């Protein structure tokens, strides 16, 4: 029996729906509390996030290359399946091992997804003769996902109070199952597969593509700068809950601030193309860097603030700075897509994601030890120069290219 697939014209819409369902992160506003309920510490949370990032780092290029060799649609289905499997493991067990195994499944999902999704999206647009719309479509994809996360975040703490952690996880598994089913009906683009030269090993082919990406005068900075930038925004993202706990912000407001962060992500993703067209690379990049720096300074100052309303304002700045990564990624990945070939697209996008995963893993594990031994505020005293100086240098290199 022939199963009817989704048409090319409707594919981008259904991709957004599948991603939105997968991005219903009801657990996000209380994830640190969830870890503690499962028997872990705040330091363990940052450690596992670091391990997650390194697991994703180790798998990025192999999974991206797989996305060039085989059906990208099937790779996306597999990615979403592993995401659901991670939640199943969380549902059935407690303790460090079960939580770590779940996070490793999330890492496999992220690695499979990272290069393949945008490569598949670009190729769908190219088949329709609309590849010049890639920045707008990436922005839509990310904004739908962020909006979904925002909505689920606002309701996550409420659902947690009624159904507990296991109930929230079951709801999440149900929605991920629907997203997997949607990806199974996406069209295959068989003619996009990479053909390796006769006599050349696949390992050597990966090395050649990676070398090309990391030595190209434009591509290497389109990879490095957003990777450093993204690792800093991740620090701000995951620091929000410890900062709120430190300043005695009521638990019910955790979901509100995390949800606001996701609304910022939705807005910045959706408007990324318009902002880029208006400000161009230089002003867009400088503006995002300024917001990032303000977020770091706010995180540094918050532990000394006694006024709860000033705390709220600074937390909003941190939320905005943490969200700025999404518009940066939309713009930089769009510029990157126009500089690479279809049959190596997933691999090069995975090289970009790999750089980000390595830096995120380094920062998360560093946070584990800094927070445990030096405290929250001293952590930011150390993190700010470590993070912001390399980011500034990479930004200068990128802006010299006059893209």
Side-chain-facing half-sphere of 74: CA atoms under 13 Å: 10
Tell me how far apart the alpha carbons of residues 153 and 319 are, in angstroms, rounded to a whole number: 14
In a domain, 203, yes or no: no
In a domain, 272, yes or no: yes
- pLDDT score of 285: 94
Q: Dihedrals φ, ψ of 186, to 5°?
A: -70, 150
Distances (CA, A) of 231 to 4, 96, 195, 203: 41, 24, 34, 28
In a domain, 143, yes or no: yes
Tell me how far apart the alpha carbons of residues 289 and 140 are, in angstroms, rounded to a whole number: 23
Side-chain-facing half-sphere of 15: CA atoms under 13 Å: 28
- Contacts of residue 234, defined as CB under 8 A and 6 or more positions apart, other chains included, come to 322, 325, 360, 363, 364
Burial category of 372 from C-beta neighbours within 10 Å (exposed 0-12, middle 13-18, buried 19 and up):
middle
- The DSSP annotation for 173-184 comes to HHHHHHHHHHHH
In a domain, 253, yes or no: yes
- pLDDT score of 54: 76
* Long-range CB contacts (within 8 A, 24+) of 94-101: 94/38, 94/39, 95/38, 95/39, 95/40, 96/39, 96/40, 96/44, 96/48, 98/38, 99/35, 99/38, 99/40, 99/48, 100/48, 100/51
- pLDDT score of 188: 83
Give the domain CATH number at 356: 1.20.1250.20
- The DSSP annotation for 107-171 comes to HHHHHHHHHHHHHHHHHHHHHTT-GGGHHHHHHHHHHHHHHHHHHHHHHHHHHHHHHHHHHHHHH
In a domain, 209, yes or no: no
Model pTM score: 0.74
The continuous run of DSSP H or E covering 104 comes out as helix 96-127
- pLDDT score of 61: 62
- pLDDT score of 191: 58
pLDDT tens, per residue, the chain with 403 residues: 345 788 888 999 999 999 999 988 888 777 877 888 888 877 788 788 778 777 777 776 666 666 667 778 888 899 999 999 999 999 998 888 998 999 889 988 887 887 788 888 888 888 888 888 888 888 888 888 888 988 888 788 778 878 888 888 999 999 999 999 999 999 887 655 666 677 777 778 878 888 888 888 899 999 999 999 999 998 898 888 788 888 888 866 777 787 788 888 888 888 888 888 898 889 999 999 999 999 999 999 999 999 999 999 999 999 999 999 888 988 888 888 888 877 777 778 778 877 887 888 888 888 878 887 888 889 899 989 999 999 999 999 999 987 7
- pLDDT score of 162: 83
Whether 330 and 275 have beta carbons less than 8 Å apart is answered as no
Q: Closest by alpha carbon to 327, among 381, 254, 268, 398?
A: 268
3-state secondary structure of 223: helix
- Contacts of residue 19, defined as CB under 8 A and 6 or more positions apart, other chains included, come to 117, 141, 144, 145, 148, 179
Domain of residue 174 covers 9-188+217-400
Whether 334 and 140 have beta carbons less than 8 Å apart is answered as no
How many independent structural domains does the chain possess?
Answer: 1
- Angle between helix 272-301 and 308-337 (nearest 10): 140
């Amino acid at each position: 029996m022939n199963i009817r697939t989704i048409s090319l014209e409707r594919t981008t819409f259904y991709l957004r729906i599948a991603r939105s369902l997968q991005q219903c992160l009801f657990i996000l506003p209380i994830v640190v509390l969830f870890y503690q309920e499962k028997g872990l510490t705040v330091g363990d949370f940052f450690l596992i996030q670091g391990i997650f990032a390194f697991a994703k780092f180790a798998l990025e290029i192999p999974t991206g290359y797989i996305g060039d060799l085989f059906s990208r649609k099937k790779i996306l289905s597999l990615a979403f399946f592993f995401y659901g499997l991670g939640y199943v493991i969380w549902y059935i067990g407690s303790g460090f091992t079960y939580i770590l195994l779940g996070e490793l499944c999330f890492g496999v999902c992220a690695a499979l997804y990272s290069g393949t999704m945008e490569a598949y999206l670009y190729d769908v647009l190219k088949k329709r003769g609309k590849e010049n719309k890639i920045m707008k479509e990436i922005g839509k994809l990310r904004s739908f996902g962020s909006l979904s996360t925002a909505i689920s975040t606002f309701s996550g703490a409420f659902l947690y109070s009624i159904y507990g952690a296991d109930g929230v996880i079951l709801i999440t598994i149900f929605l991920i199952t629907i997203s997997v089913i949607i990806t199974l009906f996406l069209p295959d683009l068989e003619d996009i597969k990479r053909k390796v030269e006769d006599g050349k090993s696949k390992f050597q082919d990966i090395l050649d593509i990676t070398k090309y990406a990391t030595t190209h005068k434009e591509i290497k900075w389109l990879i490095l700068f957003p990777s450093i930038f993204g690792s800093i925004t991740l620090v701000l993202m995951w620091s929000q809950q410890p900062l709120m706990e430190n300043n005695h912000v009521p638990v019910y407001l955790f979901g509100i601030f995390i949800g606001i962060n996701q609304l910022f992500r939705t807005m910045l993703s959706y408007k990324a193309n318009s902002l880029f067209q208006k400000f161009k690379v230089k002003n867009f990049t400088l503006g995002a860097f300024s917001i990032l720096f303000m977020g770091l300074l706010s995180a540094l100052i918050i532990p000394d603030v006694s006024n709860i309303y000033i705390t709220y304002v600074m937390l909003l700045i941190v939320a905005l700075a943490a969200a700025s990564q999404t518009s940066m990624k939309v713009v930089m990945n769009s510029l990157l897509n126009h500089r690479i070939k279809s049959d190596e697209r997933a691999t090069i996008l995975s090289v970009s994601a790999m750089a980000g995963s390595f830096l995120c893993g380094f920062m998360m594990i560093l946070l584990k030890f800094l927070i445990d031994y030096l405290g929250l505020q001293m952590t930011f005293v150390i993190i700010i120069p470590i993070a912001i100086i390399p980011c500034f240098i990479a930004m200068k290199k990128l802006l010299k290219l006059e893209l």
